[in-house]
Amino acid sequence: MIAKLKQFIQARTQADSPEDKTRQLNLAAATLLLEVVYADETLDDNEAALLPSMLANALNINAEQTKELIEEATLIRGNATSLFEFTAEVNQAFSLDEKQQLLLAMWQLAYADGELSQHEDQVIRRCADLLHLKHSELIQMRNMAISQS
């Protein structure tokens, strides 16, 4: 477990190739989504089913890559000290539209079990703030997620 964390940190500082950068960005996005999934301390079946398909579609990766990404993001998430280390990476690479889509995915995961916990709401709001999104964008993405569920 410690070895994987060291590998992640070294990869983040030495990511030179576009593939490495893409992988680290995918990992950051997946970790943020996992923060929402585990915010209420329960993994609902609907959330567990939605996360892999959401990652596969959003990141254009196959099922095996999705499984590996979720496993690695779970490990990284458990050892993270703040959301900033992940949102900083997303801020550097994502456009405004991509940030909004990530926020929408967070809301969709939060509502996947039919209810929004206070902790899920707090995680999403902190991420939106760290991603430099306006409050109106936060509300717009939430309303879109509610209408799609």
What are φ and ψ of residue 104, in 5° steps?
Answer: -60, -45
- Which tokens sit at 135? 């409050």
pLDDT in tens, the chain (149 residues): 555 555 565 555 555 677 778 888 999 999 999 999 888 877 778 888 899 988 888 888 888 999 999 999 989 888 888 899 899 999 999 999 999 999 999 999 999 988 899 999 999 999 999 999 999 999 999 999 999 87
Q: How far apart are CA 40 and CA 77, in angstroms?
A: 15
Would you tell me how many other CB atoms lie within 10 Å of the CB of residue 102? 22
Domains and CATH numbers, the chain: 2-148 (1.10.3680.10)
User: How many helices (H) and strands (E) in the chain?
Assistant: 8, 0
The H or E element that residue 31 is part of is helix 18-37
Measured between alpha carbons, how far is 135 from 86 in angstroms, rounded to an integer? Answer: 20
How many Å apart are CA 9 and CA 17, to the nearest integer? 16
Q: Which of 133, 122, 124, 130 is nearest to 88 (CA)?
A: 130
